[in-house]
Amino acid sequence: MSHARLRSQGGSVMSVARSTAATASLDHVATASGRASNPQALGLVLAVLSAIAFAGSGPFAKPLMEAGWSAGGVVFARALAAGVLLLPFAAWAVRRDPAVIVRNWKIVLGYGLIAIAASQFFYYGAIEHIPVSIAMLIMYLAPVLLLLASWALTRRRPAALALVGAAVCVGGLLLVLDLSGEVRFDGLGLAFAAIAACGTAGYYLIGAAAPRDFPPITLVCSGLLIGALTYGLLALVGVLPVTMVLTSEVALFGTTVAWWLPLGVVVLAGTVTAYALGLLAATRLGSRLASFAGLMELPATFTVAALLLGEIPTWVQFAGTLLILAGVVCVRLAPDRTAAPLAEEPGTVTGSIPVVTNAIPVVTGAIPLVTSAIPIMTSAVPVVEHYELDDERFD
């Protein structure tokens, strides 16, 4: 996503007669405020719609896997179809400088392999074994992973608010897993979700490293196509099972439908539309406000999973979910103590960590995007942004 800060555009009132100067100035301020507020209101609506669209990715993909599709088959179809649909827009965005893709081939390759291929596969692999909402919650810990990585690499203790947020997230995760309850989650599913969270963290880092002249839509499209190519190559050598049951009927909302209906929702709504709306929202809101609007993906995913799959969390898990949300908010609001020293090392891994403190964890759609997370896989999506160094934390 491109990082945009709204500025009120004012004109000069020097030509207005002195007798009406005060009135003209008041009119000007009102007009400027209206210009600023209207795009923000629209941006907020777009961000919420993007989060809701991303939320449908996992819940609509799981019925496909229950009908015989493999996780590899779903992610391959999703990445390929979405990449092809976004290709015209990606090409248009770089029509004046197509060489920008070649100049940034390392970023494109890393984004495709880590943020898309690894993140998506392990997210969908996780929801084969554990509830969608649990996998999404674990992926939402990506900002905490980045915080801890920054602390380890820079040896600079994060702000107290960030540490409190991280501790609250861990406590929330323990409640979500409900270790003392009767339900036991599959260990492989939890491991896959944890790997997906790492992929989402990589999504933020790689997306933040992209230069400002690299259109985000082009990075997303390139990553999806590279991810699809990766899945295809792994399938050819027998490493990744890619099973697509094109004759199967899928159980959906108490009835059976053709396989292409849930897949269409995953591709069109959970990927293409979600990314497009997220990119438009970021240009109107700025990174901080857009990131908080992106938190809507988590309750939206819970709602869709409950309605579609009957995955209803217990009260203990619901309390843990609220704690994780609160912890992520604390991490994002905390001042960044590592930005200044790390900014002196551009191009290094440690140098990129403070930049990603402005990333939007819209793990949206499990692609962690970038969202951004899809990343962001979760969503997450989430959506890729170009970032600035400032005092914001993971937003």
- Lowest average pLDDT, out of 94-108, 171-185, 194-208, goes to 171-185
Residue 202 has pLDDT above 80, yes or no: yes
Of 130, 117, 128, the C-alpha closest to 190 is: 130
At residue 311 the predicted structure's pLDDT band, cuts being 50, 70 and 90, is confident
Residue 132 has pLDDT above 50, yes or no: yes
- Lowest average pLDDT, out of 107-111, 153-157, 282-286, 316-320, goes to 282-286
The pLDDT, as a whole number, for residue 76 is: 96
% pLDDT > 90, the chain: 28
Tracing tokens 């292409």 back to the chain, one arrives at 260
Residue 161, judged by CB atoms within 10 A of its CB (0-12, 13-18, 19+), counts as: middle
Model's pTM, two decimal places? 0.70
Instruction: Calculate the average pLDDT of the chain.
Output: 74
Stronger pLDDT, 298 or 224, i.e. the higher one: 224
Stronger pLDDT, 381 or 245, i.e. the higher one: 245
**Terminal C-alpha separation, the chain:** 12
* 50-75 per-position pLDDT tens digit: 888 888 888 899 999 989 999 999 99
The pLDDT, as a whole number, for residue 235 is: 94
At residue 179 the predicted structure's pLDDT band, cuts being 50, 70 and 90, is low
User: How far, in Å, CA of 3 to CA of 324, rounded?
Assistant: 26
User: How far, in Å, CA of 336 to CA of 142, rounded?
Assistant: 16
Average pLDDT of the segment spanning 337-365 = 36
The pLDDT, as a whole number, for residue 335 is: 74
Residue 377 has pLDDT above 80, yes or no: no
% pLDDT > 70, the chain: 71
Q: Please enumerate in sequence order all residues whose Cβ is within 8 A of that of 360, keeping only pairs 6 or more positions apart, or say none.
A: 1, 278, 282, 287, 290, 291, 294, 371, 372, 373, 382, 383, 385, 395
Residue 286 has pLDDT above 50, yes or no: yes
Map out the domains of the chain as residue ranges: 54-358
